[in-house]
Copies of this chain bind each other. A is one copy, B any other.
Amino acid sequence: MAEVPVLTEAQLREAVTLDAALVDAIEDGFRALAAGGVVMPPVVSMAIAAHRGEVDVKTAYVPGLDGFAIKVSPGFFDNPAQGLPSLTGLMVLLSARTGMTQAVFLDNGYLTDLRTAAAGAVAARHLAPATVETAGVIGTGVQARLQMRAAFLERPFRHGLVWGRDREKAVKCAADLSGSLGIGVDVATDVVQLVARSQLVVTATPSTAPLITAEMLHDGLHITAMGADQAEKTEIAPEALAAAQLYVCDRVSQCETLGELRAARAAGLMLALPPELGQIVAGAVTGRTDPRQITICDLTGTGVQDTVIAAHVARRLAAGPAEGGPGHVA
């Protein structure tokens, strides 16, 4: 029996980072999802109410990739009080030809963070206006930082804005982003100001009430809403979703149960079948056609992204040290 490589989070941080190669791989994953042949079961979710915990399992088979991931994402919300992160987890890479275990990635959610950010980059690549002067993020966590870095890869904006409920965290996030992106990043006074001044906005919060309303929308705005990934979460008001000229899902079946589409449908809006990001990547559906359009991309996170990043890591490991040197992402 061959040895199964088991990588720690530290080793994974050395091996893979948020870069164009990863974004390209994730874009290929969306293309494959649109092309058919992908097998992606519904997300399994188990609540452990006694400990304010939940665990999600995602997987997908993507034709053309030698392996597929089983991704385990626990979220335990009393952890921070014990000095532990809420979100942890691991991925297992299995051979798509034999089912044999190829690698175990004890990433504590690092690969999930990266593949989620990379999907934001794909959304920006295909939906944001060609020119973005200012990009704003609502949220101040790891993913807010990564999403701004992802957007910057595709649209090298000149100013950044951050807003969060906790101003101290927003100040820290803005300072971190200013340092990593090498541009000025300010704290917005409120969501209204942030949206008004930005051409690209990412929402990256666990909010259960809408943060962006229809009144805040303006010509030439793209929003990537990546916070909602459970039935009770929402960041965009149903009327705002309906007011956009183009609303795009990562996966319709997930967005209508876990994403922004759920609340909109519950409000009697958005009853038509929206396009998926992969269809736009593949050119099967037209994306942004005018710099003045308002576009919204709803990202719930797919098993395809997990399989793609696990295969990407395996390729990186097989190829030796990462081209870009050690990664320092989150």
Contact = CB atoms under 8 A, between A and B. Distances in A.
A292 to B, nearest CB: 43
Contact of A97 (B1, B51, B57, B89): B51
Given A46-B39, A55-B70, A75-B99, A92 B94 contact: no
A61 interface: yes
Interface string A36-49: 00011110111110
Nearest to A70: B72
A133 to B, nearest CB: 40
B55 A48 contact: no
Contacts of A327: none
Interface in A198-243: none
Nearest to A48: B61
Contacts of A96: 48, 50-51, 53
Interface in A133-172: none
Contacts of A72: 70, 92, 94
A101 B59 CA distance: 18
A258 B280 CA distance: 39
Copies in the complex: 2
Given A55-B99, A88-B101, A89-B101, A94 B106 contact: no
Nearest to A72: B70
Contacts of A76: 97-99
Interface stretch (A4-12, A111-119, A312-320): A4-12
Interface of A: 1, 4, 6, 8-10, 39-42, 44-48, 50-51, 53, 55, 57, 59-61, 63, 68, 70, 72, 74-76, 79, 82, 84, 88-90, 92, 94, 96-101, 104, 106, 108
22 contacts: A1-B8, A1-B10, A1-B108, A4-B106, A41-B46, A44-B44, A44-B59, A46-B59, A46-B60, A51-B97, A53-B99, A55-B68, A57-B57, A57-B70, A72-B94, A74-B98, A88-B100, A89-B101, A90-B92, A90-B101, A92-B92, A101-B108
Given A46-B59, A82-B98, A101-B106, 10 more contacts: A1-B9, A1-B10, A1-B108, A39-B46, A48-B96, A50-B96, A55-B59, A74-B98, A88-B100, A89-B99
